[in-house]
Structure 1
Amino acid sequence: MAIERKPIRRGGIRSAGYDRGARVLEVEFDNGSVVQHSGVGDEIGRRFLASASPMSYYKDNIEEEFTIRRIK
């Protein structure tokens, strides 16, 4: 599944994208690793992508709440 990521470049996150239909959030970190979280609701996805502090939002609301799969 290819998800289009947009640059974020804040707080350790290089880019991220969200697929509403599949409910999958994909995050690329500054270290080059890429993960996908499944079952992420639209509201969480939108708030994460719009967050002024995306890493904090990720750690507080996504990291341990949704199934994770390492892509790279």
Structure 2
Amino acid sequence: MLHQPVQSTNVLSVGYDDRSSTLQIAFHSGSLYEYTRVPAEVHTALLAAASKGGFVARHIKGRYPTRKLAG
């Protein structure tokens, strides 16, 4: 999955697959998480958010099935 670098102190990059509604988030800490069943509009809102880390904490973590891939 291709990742797009983002400006954030917490989030390094974000990848999204429209076909499977899968979101991947890489953190500066080295962790990589995959979230499934994420609507495309949530991905779009994440990219537009002033605080990427805050958006992840408020709107993604704990809301979608999650798998830790690295870190």
Mark yes or no: TM-score above 0.5.
yes
Give ranges in structure 2 of 5+ residues lacking alignment.
Answer: none
Count of aligned residue pairs for this structure pair: 70
CA distance in structure 1 between the aligned counterparts of 2:7 and 2:24, rounded to whole angstroms? 14
Partner of 1:31: 29
Partner of 2:60: 62
CA displacement at 1:11 relative to structure 2: 3.0
Q: Does 1:5 align with 2:3?
A: yes
Moved more, 55-64 or 8-17: 8-17
CA distance in structure 2 between the aligned counterparts of 1:23 and 1:11, rounded to whole angstroms? 25
Provide TM-score, normalisation by structure 2. Answer: 0.92
Partner of 2:12: 14
Provide TM-score, normalisation by structure 1. Answer: 0.91
Give ranges in structure 1 of 5+ residues lacking alignment.
Answer: none
List structure 1 runs of 4+ shifted beyond 3 angstroms.
none
